[in-house]
Structure 1
């Protein structure tokens, strides 16, 4: 098993057949459109109350004032059932259809309102971009194979080449383009840029402005190629000091970071809140920790843990689709039915991606990383563990473990894991992280 995992890692690292190349100007890649609605899933009970024949469709939970949705006449309680001839049976299918449209395009909506079908036309507005008075924000575009992807670069004002950081986010469908919204990732990038670093973010294939209809079907090889290509291109910009390029990754991004950095002229790799074990073990153990913080009794935690492990092993070890696993076990179906999306998706990702992640030997990948590594763990982090970061620091040829008190998985200040769990997502930021990261990078920089 270990040999097969090692072979898989090498194949992903060496066999990068996808090439990232410049696209002339940010406008080469169209801007995704904004509707201005809050979407909600449609269950059988809600469908019946709305006088619908079935639960196929997407419920409008709310309409944002002053947006295209309001101008088009959409109302809370409406159900979108199709865009043109393309059905919108649920939120994932609606999202897939919407990826064919850009700002300025007109959506021919088919809607059911109080049991009656109506048709509306909605003209998509452009999604607002990130801006800053303190540094430049550049919207660029590049190719990964035959797909164009969005890159977002924050650059200190002024002339001269600056050290640079490639940020590798957790492998999810979340966009790295936050517009005017606050977010810990956006704050992290901004603070690093204000400290004098060029920082590049990359939208995965199928996410945000990037081309590709369904980001849930992106595979691990494509993700590695996307970030590796961005890393290589970053060093060619005249405003980047090519001798001082770093990689910074968060959470599950650490699973591919060593493959992205392997053999590249990287001065150092920093991980934060890294998941350093198998995907199944990490998911099961993180869930168990959250249930303990939820104050569930030990018996219920043990039963939930057993069921979750059985479900995930059915998908990964036995090679079944999530739906096949649930249909074979009534107990698992009752517990995890809402977790499975469109039969082949688990936690928002295609089940084959999860299978590929489980085959990776993360420790083996870090052993092959030639760059210095700083593995940081926040002591208030209940998602990842100190052992995860310690494994990375130990496996790397030149690794260092740093435990920071008072910070959780999302860079937010918290005294301990319980406070982090109870507080939830607050969009606060612990600036000590940036201080430690920049101090380490300065230490590792190549001097003139």
Structure 2
């Protein structure tokens, strides 16, 4: 681990295991919106395409209380003109619960001003389990934690699952979207008697500190370690039955988070275990082939990609330095996180991390997943079982892809990518819950 983050965390970890409501709830604006295009400009007779169109207003939101209506066009927040959706969303992030601002609107051709008092984002609730909002600290960041605890006997100790999410910068606190994939996973675990913890990434949701897009691999792993440390302080948690579930890059983080901890078991979904460069080259060839690129062009692309990745990930050059030598490689340098995050991923010896563990492991992958590959899943199983025979298993799940969309093949999954409201396949959750139950019955 990067020593700068380790030392910073060591100084704050005991004080920051649970900082509770010191971390305020983020502001709940509560509007659905769209950018202004030619047709919207013409339909609403707007003077230009600056601003955002309100397409809906949510109940009990700040916008509803302020009197915003569908078809309003927000052209100014305070004294700052609104240019487009990304800029508007960025402007809203500066506001906290209790703040106020004036929204200038165009409504039926007239200028209207409404004072918006920002209400807190609503909490997650369920009739089947309790939900508690707290926080942990790691380095410069204060990270929101969301803990679910099954209702029932208050004296009962509950098994716990630390949920580790995928690579992108998004919130895992979405009470207004109970049907989203992460919420359905948490709901399923909680209904089956498992407590859960989610740790928001820095800068996402209520979390404060380094913007997520500027964070790195070690910082993110440290946040999950802080969450695990907080779990160790919860008297109602069955400390002999703590599990980790890692989805996508969460499966890469899981063995690093678990290192040195008595974890009962780890579940990974659609992850990687080879070096990052090996994985990227495999992934680029597979996806380019699925997209119909001629095979000679695939080879030429792979040659360029290998050279670019060596400079960026092995030689630790910046993207600007790489593009100075390979100006036609811009499209090959698009990553879901900061380039330093990717460099640190390349440096991680994931096989060594799995080798150091002594815990049971379930490795899952969807057969239609064009983002992860059997080779990586089998490597995890082989590494674990060579050290501790029989402790790891790999199961390929039919008719599901990386993001839990129901699809039979990689090709079909790729065709469905970006299609709204695709059918999901959550049969894998039955496999996970059954495995968790079985492992709990086994002796250490």
TM-score (ref. length: structure 1): 0.79
Unaligned ranges ≥5, structure 1: 1-7, 340-345
8 A contact 1:106–1:121 mirrored in 2: yes
Tell me what 1:351 maps to.
Answer: 339
8 A contact 2:136–2:230 mirrored in 1: no
Whole-Å separation in 2 of the counterparts to 1:413 and 1:165: 25
Shift in CA distance, 283/101, structure 1 to aligned 2, threshold 3 Å: farther
Shift in CA distance, 150/112, structure 1 to aligned 2, threshold 3 Å: same
Shift in CA distance, 427/304, structure 1 to aligned 2, threshold 3 Å: farther
Shift in CA distance, 42/322, structure 1 to aligned 2, threshold 3 Å: farther
Tell me what 1:367 maps to.
Answer: 355
Secondary structure of the structure 2 residue equivalent to 1:221: helix
- Match among 400, 412, 419 for residue 392 of structure 2: 400
Equivalent pairs counted in the alignment come to 424
State the Cα deviation string for residues 160-192 of structure 1 (Å, max 9, x = none).
Answer: 111111111123211111212122221111111
Question: 1:11: Cα distance to partner?
Answer: 10
Give the root-mean-square deviation of aligned CA atoms.
Answer: 4.0
Shift in CA distance, 106/298, structure 1 to aligned 2, threshold 3 Å: farther
Q: Quick one: higher RCO (CA 8 Å, sep 6+), 1 or 2?
A: 1
The correspondence of residues 47-446 of structure 1 with structure 2, limited to 5 A, is 60=52, 62-66=54-58, 68=62, 71=66, 98-107=92-101, 122-159=116-153, 160-181=156-177, 182-326=179-323, 328-333=325-330, 335=331, 346-396=334-384, 397-398=387-388, 399-406=391-398, 407-424=400-417, 426=422, 428-445=424-441
Question: 1:385: Cα distance to partner?
Answer: 0.5
Secondary structure of the structure 2 residue equivalent to 1:391: helix
Whole-Å separation in 2 of the counterparts to 1:238 and 1:439: 25
8 A contact 1:382–1:417 mirrored in 2: yes
Whole-Å separation in 1 of the counterparts to 2:369 and 2:393: 15
8 A contact 1:60–1:79 mirrored in 2: yes
8 A contact 1:235–1:245 mirrored in 2: no
State the Cα deviation string for residues 31-62 of structure 1 (Å, max 9, x = none).
Answer: 1123345677899xx99xx988xx9x8x6365
Whole-Å separation in 2 of the counterparts to 1:9 and 1:445: 37
Tell me what 1:343 maps to.
Answer: none
Shift in CA distance, 41/404, structure 1 to aligned 2, threshold 3 Å: same
TM-score (ref. length: structure 2): 0.79
8 A contact 1:250–1:274 mirrored in 2: yes
